[in-house]
């Protein structure tokens, strides 16, 4: 994998659209027969005219609610789906039309589509992939060693996928898709369904690949924390349209500014009023502090609480993606 040397555009997307044709089949045999002669379709606009460009070495997170069009976009970028309309160029290829050459140059991780054989030890699947991608022995060994360390896979390399936890499986999938040292990597919801520790390990790995090895990363998630910890740039999609494209700090400053801090104090500990903060009392010494990030700094509030009171436990609740999307619409959008 090359060190980041230049910042040329490696992905160019213009007015990208995908309309799914859904076969509206009638019920039972009559419906089936009718459909054979006169199929009827409804259409679903999944991606509705998206534009963006991506530079070599970028780490970009696509975020959006369920059904927003993230997976469809990523599938078009990977060449799995053909666009209905628009222009799409990646690494100088037309991903769908030049799929064979293109796929050799990228890495792709899709939750539903595994690169690993269900019944074979992980390490055997890796060796098969080495042959498929014709990875030179030295590079294969170096990558395998590095990924095994970074993703902490040593203990389960000899086990088949069917015996792995979801987190272990996802780590193995990610390693599998990177063995051939692609410079551009796509991941669709790499942290979905994982516990906090597994999520964190994957985020750290992705950050390392991007920052240290210069791999261009594009991934989808509906977890704002994934984006914050891994990406510099974030693209928000809603109903097939791009509604934000910019920095992660930008979005947090302008939209979704409501913050909540949940703190647990010793029982019966009174807390003084704090300007711009709504404090509400919960059970067992728990209090909630609600405020706008523009008025109150989370760090300063936490400091103040620790200085004045005995705090037993603290949780910071960041805005969910749905709240941020709502915030964007309420303020008329940013584009």
Ligand X SMILES: Nc1ncnc2c1ncn2[C@@H]1O[C@H](COP(=O)(O)OP(=O)(O)O)[C@@H](O)[C@H]1O
Beta pairing partners, 62: 220, 235
CA-CA distance, 58 to 131, in Å (whole number)?
29
Residue 176: CB minimum distance to Mg ion, A:
20
Closer by beta carbon to ligand X, 64 or else 107: 64
Q: Which of residues 62-121 bind ligand X (CB under 6 A)?
A: 64, 66-72
Residue 277: CB minimum distance to Mg ion, A:
37
| Number of amino acids touching ligand X (CB under 6 A) | 12
Residue 220: CB minimum distance to Mg ion, A:
6
How does DSSP classify residue 70? H
Q: Which residue is nearest to Mg ion (CB)?
A: 71
- Candidates 71-79, 148-156, 226-234, 326-334: pick the segment binding Mg ion (CB under 5 A): 71-79
Closer by beta carbon to ligand X, 71 or else 181: 71
Closer by beta carbon to ligand X, 64 or else 182: 64
Residue 146: how many other CB atoms lie within 10 Å: 15
User: Coil, strand or helix: which one is 50?
Assistant: strand
Choose the one of ligand X, Mg ion, none that binds residue 69, judging by a C-beta under 5 to 8 angstroms depending on kind: ligand X
Q: What angle do CA 33, 38, 39 make, to 5 degrees?
A: 90
71 scored as a contact of Mg ion (CB under 5 A): yes
Determine the angle formed by the axes of helices 137-150 and 166-178, rounding to 10 degrees.
150
Helix (H) or strand (E) run with residue 157 in it: none
Q: Which of residues 179-218 bind ligand X (CB under 6 A)?
A: none
CB 289 within 8 A of CB 279: yes
Q: What percent of the chain is helix, strand and coil (3-state, nearest 5)?
A: 35, 30, 35
CA dihedral 127, 197, 190, 69 (to 10 degrees): 170
Q: Which of 9, 22, 34, 316 binds ligand X (CB under 6 A)?
A: 22
46 scored as a contact of ligand X (CB under 6 A): yes
Residue 64: CB minimum distance to ligand X, A:
5
Residue 40: CB minimum distance to ligand X, A:
15
Residue 87: CB minimum distance to Mg ion, A:
23
Residue 67: CB minimum distance to ligand X, A:
4
Closer by beta carbon to ligand X, 70 or else 287: 70
User: Coil, strand or helix: which one is 325?
Assistant: helix
CB 225 within 8 A of CB 52: no
Closer by beta carbon to ligand X, 20 or else 133: 20
Token output for 155: 């203990």
Alpha carbon of residue 8 to chain centroid: 23
Query: Given the rule CB under 5 A, which residues bind Mg ion?
Result: 70-71
Query: Given the rule CB under 6 A, which residues bind ligand X?
Result: 20, 22, 44, 46, 64, 66-72
């Amino acid at each position: 994998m090359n060190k980041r040397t230049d910042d040329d555009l490696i992905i160019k997307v213009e007015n990208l659209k995908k309309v799914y044709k859904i076969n509206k089949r009638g019920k039972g045999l009559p419906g089936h027969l009718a459909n054979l002669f006169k199929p009827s379709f409804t259409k679903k606009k999944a991606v509705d005219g998206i534009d963006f460009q991506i530079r070599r070495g970028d780490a970009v997170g696509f975020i959006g609610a369920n059904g927003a069009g993230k997976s469809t976009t990523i599938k078009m970028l990977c060449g799995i789906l053909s666009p209905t309309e628009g222009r799409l160029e990646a690494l100088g290829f037309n991903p769908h039309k030049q799929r064979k050459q293109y796929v050799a140059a990228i890495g792709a991780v899709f939750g539903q589509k595994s690169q690993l054989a269900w019944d074979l030890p992980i390490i055997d699947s890796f060796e098969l992939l080495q042959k498929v991608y014709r990875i030179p022995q030295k590079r294969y060994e170096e990558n395998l060693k590095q990924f095994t360390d970074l993703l902490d896979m040593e203990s389960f390399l000899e086990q088949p996928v069917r015996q792995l936890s979801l987190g272990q499986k996802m780590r193995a999938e990610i390693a599998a898709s990177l063995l051939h040292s692609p410079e551009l990597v796509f991941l669709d919801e790499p942290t979905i369904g994982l516990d906090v520790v597994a999520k964190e390990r994957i985020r750290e790995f992705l950050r390392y690949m991007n920052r240290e090895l210069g791999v261009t990363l594009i991934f989808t998630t509906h977890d704002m924390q994934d984006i914050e910890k891994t990406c510099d740039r974030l693209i928000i999609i809603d109903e097939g349209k791009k509604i934000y494209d910019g920095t992660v700090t930008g979005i947090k400053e302008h939209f979704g500014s409501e913050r909540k801090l949940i703190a647990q104090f010793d029982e019966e500990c009174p807390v003084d009023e704090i300007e711009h903060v709504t404090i509400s009392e919960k059970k067992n010494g728990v209090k909630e502090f609600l405020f706008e990030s523009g008025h109150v700094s989370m760090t300063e509030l936490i400091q103040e609480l620790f200085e004045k009171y005995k705090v037993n436990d603290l949780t910071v609740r960041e805005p969910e993606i749905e709240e941020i999307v709502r915030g964007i619409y309420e303020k008329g959008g940013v584009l």
